[in-house]
Amino acid sequence: MRSAPTILHLDMDAFYASVEQASKPSLRGKAVIVGGLGPRGVVATASYEARRFGVHSAMPMAQARRLCPNGACLIPRFSLYREVSELVMGLLRELSPLVEPLSLDEAFVDLEAGGVAFDAAGARAVGERLRADITAATGLSGSVGLAGSKMLAKVASEEAKPDGLLLIEPGTERDLLAPMSVRTLPGVGPATGEHLRRAGITTVGELAEAGEDELVRMVGKAHGAGLYRMALGLDDRPVVAERDAKSVSVEDTFDVDLHDRVRIRNEVRRLADRCVGRLRASGHSGRTIVLKVRRYDFSTLTRSETLRGPTDDPAVVREAAARLLEGVDTTGGVRLLGVGVTGLADYTQEDLFAQVRAAEADTDPGVAPESGAAAPDGADAPSVAAGAGAAVGGPEGDGAAVAPVGSPVRHWAAGSDVRHAVYGPGWVQGSGVGRVTVRFEGPGSPPGRARTFRVDDPELEPSDPPALVGPG
């Protein structure tokens, strides 16, 4: 713990959805939902306008559509999100050499290491200036937390959302944390939170009052001791400069143990798609697929398979994870499932056999093309399954028009970028029944007019995302 609030945590507000609103003027101030558009699609993030209807990340897209029927449901455009993220991270690196990115839209900064702040007044000034610089450069807003530790800085930024700044003065940590839910603390997920709730512990203050010995008895030595320190506001972890990721993984703990083998297979498939989404968002591919299974008795099994070369193909990861699952006995029930990829690389060696299978599937009218291409805004990332009117994502996971092998029909995903020979650049507002509706506008234009074309209009072509610039 530091004696001054010189650790900064930045968390961009509803990042993916905000980027979409900034680049599509007609969506500003309206409900926007970003994620997979197919039957197994999951929400990556939702604008604050959509959240008022109860939409949140990791929710099935079908449920989000029911809750917010007038919301704009769009595919993710990761190449654009990465471009904006690099701009924001560049602003952070101007403040300090110690910048620790957690995701595309979130990072810690050590202000002391950069010599830009050594006390509360200086830290607040830096935080306010940073927020203004981000808005000027991108047109987006970010929330800033300032504290004497990483944990508290992250808590502060969450409390400051949206578009705010909160500074936690050293010495006030326990009073601030006491009324908060135990789920506020890092490492307290649904399972641990429920375990504590059954013991009558729902707030951080109650966690501190329970004492270290009781927490160790309840959740184990390492986890119990760590929880107790966090409940007291103690966290000595340093800000660590960006390092290469060693692995990418996702996992889910289920409220009720899973017994149905078909359901378990479907969950593994969904986790594999989410894992590939994170893998692509990090700009990596991986060679070793890892399956994690925690059974009803809390025993945990890990199985892995190493491929011939690194891949970011969702079909390859799904198939490997499915093979690994076949070797695991799930009798009695499953509490947790996870899929990960290790042996990361910056290039991809495609699985030729998987490509052949994909091509064969595309020629079969009874098989819907799929693409896993999404990433977390904050925590979980969804799978992107392309169904009717949706596109098969490219290597970046950005949807466009794709002509399946053996089919002359083009499919256009809502939110993808296009260019018309006469009307210029625009984006797909929707498609179906042989038609595609395009709204012609861009980041610096006023809301544009929508026009409808045949899906096979030769004058309409996929396009790269337009550069996003600030309002000035």
Among 86, 89, 74, smallest CA distance to 18 is for 74
395-429 core/surface letters (b: 16 or more CB in 10 A; e: else):
ebbbbbbbebeeeeebbbbbbbbbbbeebebbbbb
Bridge partners of residue 452, in order along the sequence: 437
The label of the residue with tokens 């990861």 reads 317
Among 11, 33, 137, 84, smallest CA distance to 384 is for 33
Please list the active-site residues.
Answer: 106
Bridge partners of residue 72, in order along the sequence: 32
Supply 155's token pair: 């808590």
Bridge partners of residue 277, in order along the sequence: none
Fill in the amino acid letter for 334.
V
Q: Quick one: CA torsion of 115, 116, 117, 121, rounded to 10 degrees?
A: 160
Backbone phi, psi, residue 211, to 5°: 90, 155
- The interaxial angle of helices 212-219 and 221-231, nearest 10 deg, is 140
Fill in the amino acid letter for 62.
A
Query: Sign of dihedral through CA atoms 320, 322, 326, 331?
Result: positive
Rounded CA-CA distance 28/20 in Å is 9
Q: What is the largest CA-CA distance in the chain?
A: 72
Report yes or no: 172 and 30 within 8 Å, Cβ to Cβ.
no
Cα dist. 125→23, 118, 135, 147, 182 in Å? 29, 11, 16, 14, 31
Report yes or no: 439 and 401 within 8 Å, Cβ to Cβ.
no
